[in-house]
Structure 1
């Protein structure tokens, strides 16, 4: 059985500029097909617009308010919103208030699978 406490996971910055704490991924558990992390984007901040060749992502907003852009379409996001980001889709999230959200990637997140304009 694999159980990881979020509070025990050290934060790191992804290539897109968000602060992440991996909850379960290949670095801390025998994960093969997905990863789960908590991401934080400070008020007024944004991730760098990017896409992933391999990974499909889900974001689940826990706290804050912001704007999600996927392939040019923009929508407000608030706590309780689940967001599908298909593999290959350009995306960016902007924080009107500090955003805290869960991010699930399948296959697991890798820096090498993050591409920019």
Structure 2
């Protein structure tokens, strides 16, 4: 077993200035640590098969779920079942760091939804 952290995990960039680190990447499970700069957000979407759990490590997230805005703070999390439209954003003045767990992995399973 290998101890994983941001320092030794596979890194990727999304949305031009946001970071992700694959802590676990198997055919059945994905755990990613992500950093979202202030003022940035994802696009509204859902996953056909993957269910996800977002857990805030630092900062404050604005998570829209089926049109309802939820504010998540440090040490809080939210479960997003498959098929539920959601969008995560960071409207605070500091960076947002969180873990997102997806099963099965959500890559290739995302369906974009217009505003």
- Aligning the two structures, in what range does the TM-score lie when normalised by the shorter sequence? 0.7 to 0.9
Contact residue 18 and residue 39 of structure 1 kept, 8 A = yes
TM-score scaled to structure 1, two decimals? 0.84
The count of aligned residue pairs is: 110
1:68-113 C-alpha deviation (Å, 9 max, x unpaired) = 1111111111101111011011111111231100000000131x20
Contact residue 65 and residue 99 of structure 1 kept, 8 A = yes
**Distance in 2 separating the partners of 1:98 and 1:41:** 6
Q: Does 1:79 align with 2:74?
A: yes
TM-score scaled to structure 2, two decimals? 0.85
**Distance in 2 separating the partners of 1:20 and 1:78:** 19
Structure 2 counterpart of 1:115? 111
Q: Which has the higher helix share?
A: 1
CA positional deviation for 1:13: 3.3
Q: How does 1:45-84 map to 2 (within 5 A)?
A: 45-84=40-79
CA positional deviation for 1:66: 2.6
- Unmatched 5+ residue regions in structure 2? none
Structure 2 counterpart of 1:21? 21
Q: Which has the higher strand share?
A: 2
Q: Does 1:5 align with 2:1?
A: no
**Distance in 2 separating the partners of 1:70 and 1:13:** 24
Contact residue 41 and residue 47 of structure 1 kept, 8 A = no
CA positional deviation for 1:60: 0.3
Q: Does 1:40 align with 2:35?
A: yes
Contact residue 44 and residue 112 of structure 2 kept, 8 A = yes
